[in-house]
Structure 1
Amino acid sequence: MAGVNVDLAGRSYGVLIGSGLLADAASLSGGLLRKPVVPVVTDTNVHAAWGGVLAESFAKAGHEARFLIHDPGESAKSWAGLSRTVEWLLELGVERGDNIVALGGGVIGDLTGFAAAILKRGCGFIQIPTTLLAQVDSSVGGKTAINVAAGKNLVGAFHQPSLVLADLATLGTLPDREMRCGYAEIIKYGILGDAAFFDWCEANGSAMIAREADALEYAVTTSVRAKVRIVAEDERETSGARALLNLGHTFGHALEAETDYSEKLLHGEAVALGMVLAARYSARRGLVSLDDAARITAAIDAVGLPSEIAALGLDCDGQTLAAHMLHDKKMDAGTLPFILLRGIGDAFLDREVDMADIAAFLTEQLQAH
């Protein structure tokens, strides 16, 4: 088991990474569970696979796991899902000193975290991420949100968890498509700031997808440490350092919006495509070499992630995709910052990107064969 400490302005919490943590969740949570009844927010699929393991762990420690079970997918991360969650927590009598458990992927973690942030002006929550993407990204760092009609993650709060338990055993029930989505966020840390880790991902991507234990633990631990370093420097994304974690996301969110946040394009797939587009646009601007852009594309394509937006068969042009970006939560004073590249392992924030040029570039990509 590996451990990473998140230390933020006098507040700290641990991220534990290893196999079999769910069965020991009660003991690993220590004094965070104050009452006999522990609220657990999850979804149908995760509850069927892992709810019993968590309930048994809590029962051995004298706690009863009480479950709120949402439908799987983005639909839970909505006003309706938030209202249902908050009302349920209030019915259970959750107090500010209590901790809610989020058992699931990024949707459940974001939803539960936001509910915890606003319930009685803030209570605690424990993240137990069950997808690779959530383990290396959304469960750490305190970003919580729901989706609204105008776009993704536009209503939310910064609210750090009390503990993160990343049980690698839960990845055994994850479809390979979801594993590839997690890989997109893992290789992102190499592309944005660690060329040596990118090299390692190139060589070990298939091992991660195949769930080889040593490769998974190294990948998750390295990714979490990278994110923690950035979050500690810029917790609320005010200096620009944390914005680097959005590499691929501005392009990716536009693609998700155009595909109606559907199964046609999952979030990790959109981020993968977004990183390819960021690399190619950086090359178009003469910021990064064509070879580096091609290498990033090849590394993403090699594990079966999408690398060409033309293959999506979208019925739109670049201007339509650029218009989706104008709803991005990172808009500031009428401008949209982009994360671009000077090289593999060298990302930077560009606040002066011409949206007309972005639209023209995207039109070219949509028409490419």
Structure 2
Amino acid sequence: MIRFSESITSQQDIDVVVGENALSYLREIQNKKAIFYSSSVNIDFIKPHLEGEYTLVPIKDGEEAKDIQYSLELLKVLFDGGFDRGDYVIAIGGGSVTDTVGFIASTYMRGLNLINVPTTLLGMVDAGIGGKNGVNFGRIKNIIGTFYQPRAIIADLRFLISLPSEEVRKGLAEVIKYGLVLDKELYDFLALNKNSVLSKDPESLEYVVQRSIQDKLSVVKEDERETKGVRIVLNFGHTIGHAIEAGSGFSIPHGYAISVGMVCEAKIAEEMGYSEEGVVEDSVWILSHYNLPISIDELSSKIDLKEALFALSKDKKVRNGVLLMPFPTRIGDWKRVEVPIETLKGFAEQCLK
């Protein structure tokens, strides 16, 4: 088991625990606890690690969990339970759960102690990290939200034992992202340890999850609120990936969409002269190595090009007709580039036909 702390703000450190018995961290909490958990999580797996006074609250998963009205219902649980700012709110589940619970923890009494316990690989390496919490309003995703860092991130690898191999691969797309633009050492590890990673070897998973968390937290520490143009590196593959998702009517899983998105964006970076020779080939190779899609022909749904390009033009990162994008310059390194939206749409059209 690996345990370390990272200081994101001057106010607090984030404890990170990764391993097969990471949930044991919960025994250290003596204050009152509100434990919001996805209905898909086996709570009997968690109960042995709970001590003192706690309230178990099963909650919805997916987009249902992210509706603002549902957040008000969850806030009432804290109010009725007499929770105060010394108490803890614990989110156990996937990205929609950590999003929603992070939001209510940050708003109730202007902030209770939050602990994220992601139960999927995608959650452990991305969704449960970084402090961005958002809920939906008026059919618009994540339009209401906060930046609020958890007190702890607990990545207990036992949650991954029963995870289907396909779900592992979806999460690995985000891991590969870190390798391509931030961490060559992680890229090299993935290149050499495919079988142990895909077979969910505990030692290999521990390294992959720990390294991914450290990579993301290092970026968040430098640009927590996305004001310095540094945090955009975490969007590598996501600009085109989100367009793919929209063009498929959101039937393409996120991990597969950003996998194709990373290939497209690496090609754009090369064509615009920002990438060293071989970056596209290395990106394609590592994604194929893990059986992830590298073109829209490998996706399970057709892409409506018109819808994809429309989504691209409405990207929330567009400013005055220009989009800031992170381009890989070499494996493990990147550069921030201003790309006119019309130029980007031209490249995207080539990639998505």
Check whether the contact 1:310–1:366 (CA below 8 A) recurs between aligned residues: no
Query: In the aligned structure 2, how far is the partner of 1:200 from the partner of 1:82?
Result: 40
The CA RMSD over aligned residues, in Å, is 2.1
Cα separation, partners in 2 of 1:154 and 1:247, compared to 1, 3 Å: farther
- Could you tell me how far 1:79 is from its partner in structure 2? 2.5
Counterpart of 2:66? 77
Counterpart of 2:165? 176
Check whether the contact 2:31–2:53 (CA below 8 A) recurs between aligned residues: no
Residue from 155, 163, 186 that aligns with 1:166: 155
Give CA deviations for 1:176-223 in whole Å, capped at 9, x if unaligned.
Answer: 121112211111111112223212212223421210111111111111
Query: In the aligned structure 2, how far is the partner of 1:107 from the partner of 1:325?
Result: 23
AA matched with 2:54: E
Give CA deviations for 1:109-152 in whole Å, capped at 9, x if unaligned.
Answer: 11110111122222221111111111112222211112456754
AA matched with 2:40: N
AA matched with 2:17: L
Residue from 69, 79, 87 that aligns with 1:98: 87
Give CA deviations for 1:240-293 in whole Å, capped at 9, x if unaligned.
Answer: 2222111112222222223333xx322222222221111111122232246321
Task: Please identify, of 196-205 and 122-131, the stretch whose mean Cα deviation from structure 2 is larger.
Answer: 196-205
Counterpart of 2:57? 67
Query: In the aligned structure 2, how far is the partner of 1:167 from the partner of 1:69?
Result: 20
Counterpart of 1:276? 263
Query: In the aligned structure 2, how far is the partner of 1:146 from the partner of 1:329?
Result: 16
Aligned sequence identity (%): 32
TM-score by length of 1: 0.88
1:249 lines up with 2:238 in the alignment: yes
Check whether the contact 1:17–1:221 (CA below 8 A) recurs between aligned residues: yes
Check whether the contact 1:151–1:327 (CA below 8 A) recurs between aligned residues: no
Counterpart of 1:223? 212
1:266 lines up with 2:253 in the alignment: yes
TM-score by length of 2: 0.91
AA matched with 1:341: P
Counterpart of 2:192? 203
Question: Aligned with 2:130: secondary structure?
Answer: coil
Counterpart of 1:6? 6
Cα separation, partners in 2 of 1:252 and 1:148, compared to 1, 3 Å: farther
Query: In the aligned structure 2, how far is the partner of 1:271 from the partner of 1:119?
Result: 34
Counterpart of 2:36? 41
Cα separation, partners in 2 of 1:114 and 1:364, compared to 1, 3 Å: same
AA matched with 2:59: I
Question: Aligned with 2:161: secondary structure?
Answer: helix
Counterpart of 1:88? 77
1:325 lines up with 2:315 in the alignment: no
Give CA deviations for 1:53-83 in whole Å, capped at 9, x if unaligned.
Answer: 222321xx2333422321x333322324423
Query: In the aligned structure 2, how far is the partner of 1:152 from the partner of 1:161?
Result: 22
Counterpart of 1:366? 352
Question: Aligned with 1:66: secondary structure?
Answer: strand
Check whether the contact 2:91–2:118 (CA below 8 A) recurs between aligned residues: yes
Query: In the aligned structure 1, how far is the partner of 2:197 from the partner of 2:351?
Result: 29
Query: In the aligned structure 2, how far is the partner of 1:84 from the partner of 1:310?
Result: 43
Query: In the aligned structure 2, how far is the partner of 1:307 from the partner of 1:65?
Result: 45
